[in-house]
Amino acid sequence: MGARDRSPVDEDRPGGGPPGLEELLQAVGRGDRTAFERLYEALAPRVFGLVLRVLRDRAHSEEVAQEVLVEVWRGAARYEPGKGSVMAWVMTIAHRRAIDRVRSAQSGLDREERAARLEPHRPFDEVPELVVGRLERERLRRCLDGLTGLQRESVTFAYYGGYSYREVSELVQAPLGTVKTRMRDGLIRLRDCLGVDR
């Protein structure tokens, strides 16, 4: 790599070693496209993996992953290192975007259900089934809202994102033992809130 090809990020590091995610993101915040390419290569597989676990649809997941990385490009200057690692920040954006897509799809289904209910040939027994499903989702959402931030984040990453305890520990930047304890306590609170038998 010639002197002209070097990114300002490389020059900032002692010995010219590869930049870390935080340095790359800071450079992206200053408009460095080369830094964004490197950041993209480092983050894209993890972002896509998380989104795919939530959406279960490859085409939609590719779209959402692209939206996440565009948001990272646009919002890089707003990243605050004191609030968590770059990976946790990006994974939070990815999870939020994926959930937004699920909600958007659910909203579309809800509109179709309302339109279908107006049709005279709709089987009567489907309506209660749809209502029960919606009530259960709403109850789960309320119960999740009753958890502490770390509990909710850990449970969401593990059960909706499919991450292991160790990966969750890295994402939320908390010790592994703390994450396991918070998840156990969170699951107990969820079980009690939902009225699930032991």
Average confidence (pLDDT) over 126-153: 72
Vertex 92: Cα angle to 87 and 96 (nearest 5): 150
Average pLDDT, the chain: 78
- Phi, psi angle pair for 31, to nearest 5°: 90, 15
pLDDT in the model for residue 78 = 92
Closest CA to 21 of 33, 31, 35, 32: 35
Distance CA 193, CA 189 (A): 6
pLDDT in the model for residue 18 = 66
pLDDT in the model for residue 127 = 56
pLDDT level of residue 1 (50, 70, 90 thresholds): very low
C-alpha gyration radius of the chain? 21
| pLDDT of residue 7 exceeding 50 | no
pLDDT level of residue 35 (50, 70, 90 thresholds): very high
pTM above 0.75, yes or no: no
Q: Which of 143-152, 158-167, 189-198 has the lowest mean pLDDT?
A: 189-198
Closest CA to 93 of 150, 41, 36, 46: 46
pLDDT in the model for residue 121 = 55
% of the chain with per-residue pLDDT over 90: 30
The residue ranking higher by pLDDT, 115 or 145, is 145
pLDDT in the model for residue 129 = 61
Tracing tokens 């010639």 back to the chain, one arrives at 2
Average confidence (pLDDT) over 152-169: 78
| pLDDT of residue 4 exceeding 50 | no
